[in-house]
Amino acid sequence: MADQADISLQEFDAVDESFFEVEEISQNEKEARDRAAERQKFAKDFSFRQLGSVAEYIEPVSSAHPLEYVLNVFEENPDVQAVPVEEFDVVIGYIDRKTLENATKNVVRRFMVKETAKYVKRVPLILYAKEYCEQCLGKVSAAAKEYGISFFPIFHHRKSFYGLVSMEDLIARISDVRQQDMEKARVVQQGILPDAIDLKRFPFQIRAWNRMANPIGGDLYTVYSLSDTKYLIGCFDVSGKNVAAALVTIALGSFFSALKRFPQVVSTPEKIISELDLFIEDIVPMGTFVTAGIFYVDMEAKRLSVFNCGHTNIYFFIPGPSDGQRRTIRLSEVEAFLPPLGMGATAESLAGGDVKIPCCAIESGLRAELYSDGLPDMQTDEGIRFGDDRTKDFFKTLYPKKEQDVIQGIEDAVAHWTGKSMLPDDITVVDVAF
């Protein structure tokens, strides 16, 4: 093998001469590459919400070019749907593939059509890469409707073309942005709800189940310690839906978070509920209100007080006498006897001293049920409402279940009734057992 290698080297002469060809780049190509590189550099400066992150750079063609030139651009770039067109080095509009195909769909028309300028869709709107997609949607939609425009040139500054954005891509990006915002809001909203670990820190059993009809909604539940022996348990339902309702629930959560830092400010349930009523009245627009079912638990006195502020009926199950074989369970319900929160009327009613607050003794086996009106309002695939009577019967079946089976029992009941239908409203169930 070594001899063969030596012979090979003797048979060939190595000439020190480069055989690589130097690629010739035209001035136009060089300028195009420079613009693309500049755009790539600036792309990092724009957030997901700005037009610069959506725009796609396509080399502009001159309106003075023959239409055949534009046809070649589309043929060489099958994914390109529109090409920006410039006059005097400034992009003034675009020509789209569909328009061009219609103009040249037969041989005769293709032969007769010569001028690119004749088919340019001029865009009477200046959009900059730094502008935010959502803020531009109004004027972009208006221009699209008035002038039949589907693509919009985006500029880095007054005359520097940055890229082209289609109406379809703009709407898709706004949809993505809103979806991301919704997901962030959902995480924030879920974060203010006590989790399973938080709920195990109390001297009674409490299980909570929540499902929003949309990513965010207007239901909230909370458990707040007034002292080592006194607690406040609440289920809240904000009027309205989606973002507006979710913002109010976050405000409610902040109210109770503030109470934990200033426990000396309010010490009685009446005072807390009155302050909450006035707090909501101050921050929400007129017409928005919050229904609430609230328990005040005094483990030292073994008493439970109930406040129903325009909320759904609250159910209580108390063990009754037994004949040795079968035990009686007594059912009691508390209807709304106070106005919803957020109008100042609840604080006024409690300040008057004429409201009689329902109370019961806390004994082993006592079970209390709070829920939002999304439970009786849920519907089957045929549109049949669950209703108040079935809601009461549901809690009867929930009473004998073991602690670990309560959440699954709620989940199964909702899934069985709703099937594949959408929830018309948020559902929250809070089960408290002593």
Please check whether residue 62 is in contact with residue 86, taking contact to mean a CB–CB distance below 8 angstroms: yes
Please check whether residue 341 is in contact with residue 252, taking contact to mean a CB–CB distance below 8 angstroms: no
CATH match of 27-180 with 3.10.580.10: yes
pLDDT of residue 42: 54
Please name the helix (run of DSSP H) or strand (run of DSSP E) that holds residue 100, with its range, or none. Answer: helix 97-103
Q: How confident is the model at residue 20 (pLDDT cuts 50, 70, 90)?
A: low
Please check whether residue 303 is in contact with residue 359, taking contact to mean a CB–CB distance below 8 angstroms: yes
Integer Cα distance of 278 and 318 in angstroms: 34
Whole-angstrom CA distances from 267 to 25, 56, 232 are 81, 61, 11
**Type of residue found at 162:** Y
Integer Cα distance of 58 and 40 in angstroms: 13
Residue 390: how many other CB atoms lie within 10 Å: 15
If you ran DSSP here, which 8-state letter would residue 274 be given?
H
Which comes out higher in pLDDT, residue 340 or 1?
A: 340
84-133 pLDDT, tens digit each: 999 998 999 999 998 888 877 765 555 556 778 888 999 999 999 999 99
The torsion defined by the Cα of 239, 240, 241 and 246, in degrees rounded to 10, comes to -60
Please give the model's pTM, rounded to 2 decimal places.
Answer: 0.74
CATH match of 192-433 with 3.40.50.300: no
List the chain domain ranges: 27-180, 192-433
Where do we find the tokens 């400066």? 45
pLDDT (mean) for 317-339: 85
If you ran DSSP here, which 8-state letter would residue 265 be given?
T
Which comes out higher in pLDDT, residue 53 or 259?
A: 53
pLDDT (mean) for 175-203: 87
Strand segments, DSSP code E, in 135-186 are 151-155, 161-166
pLDDT of residue 19: 59
> Which of 156-160, 279-283, 402-406, 425-429 comes out lowest in average pLDDT?
156-160
DSSP string, 334-394: E---BPPBTSSHHHHHHHHT-PPPPEEE--TT-EEEEE-THHHH-B-TT--B-HHHHHHHH
Comparing CA positions, the residue from 258, 51, 259 lying closest to residue 162 is 51
If you ran DSSP here, which 8-state letter would residue 195 be given?
-
User: Which stretch, 31-40, 105-114, 416-425, has highest mean pLDDT?
Assistant: 416-425
